Amino acid sequence: MAKLYFSYSAMNAGKSTVLLQASHNYRERGMHTLLLTSAFDDRQGQGRIVSRIGLDMAAELFDPDTDLHAFVAKEHACRKLDCVFVDEAQFLTEDQVWQLARVGDEMGIPVMCYGLRTDFQGKLFPGSAILLAIADQLREIRTICWCGSKAIMVVRLDGKGKIIEDGEQIVIGGEDKYVSLCRKHWSKKQLGPAGSK
């Protein structure tokens, strides 16, 4: 049985870099991968997985209405897939996570999901919650807070560098809108030497 994997972290830990490297490793050996990313994330243009260090690849888009089991099955019928990679997995619905689990269980294709665990309020994203519950293997990709401790939380900033505590769960942005912090500094709302304290 192929497995469902969930690699999670706070912002700016290198999830997309790890995903792209893993896909490259498969392709380098003549295997076929399917890359999926959320239609919500249009920072680099839709249909691209882009890392902060400059790596990027084309990807197929999913939105909340996409039946991922059917989508993967259709792609697999056209060319044998050796692995499915999902970026921005926090945006998956509960049904979509179960659909991806069936890809592994029924089609024998490993599915590797990469995403954020929690939002700026410290709450689990729906996709991340179900992945944490049912994935066969969990892996934390670590990044650090300004103090050097492991960052597990993220704060959202307004346009002036001030922390926002309320709002929509999903607001797309990068380093200009989000800062990863350890739990202590997230609780104290301390951005460190580079930000307001």
Known catalytic residue: 88?
Answer: yes
Helix (H/G/I), strand (E/B), else coil: 83 = strand
Place of tokens 């692995």: 83
Q: Which pair of structure tokens corresponds to residue 37?
A: 């990313």
CB contact set of 103 (below 8 Å; sequence gap of 6+): 2, 4, 68, 69, 72, 73, 84, 109, 111
CB contact set of 21 (below 8 Å; sequence gap of 6+): 55
What's the maximum distance between 2 C-alpha atoms anywhere in the chain? 55
CB contact set of 83 (below 8 Å; sequence gap of 6+): 22, 23, 26, 31, 33, 34, 109, 110, 111, 112
- The active-site residue out of 88, 94, 140, 168 is 88
Residues forming the active site: 88
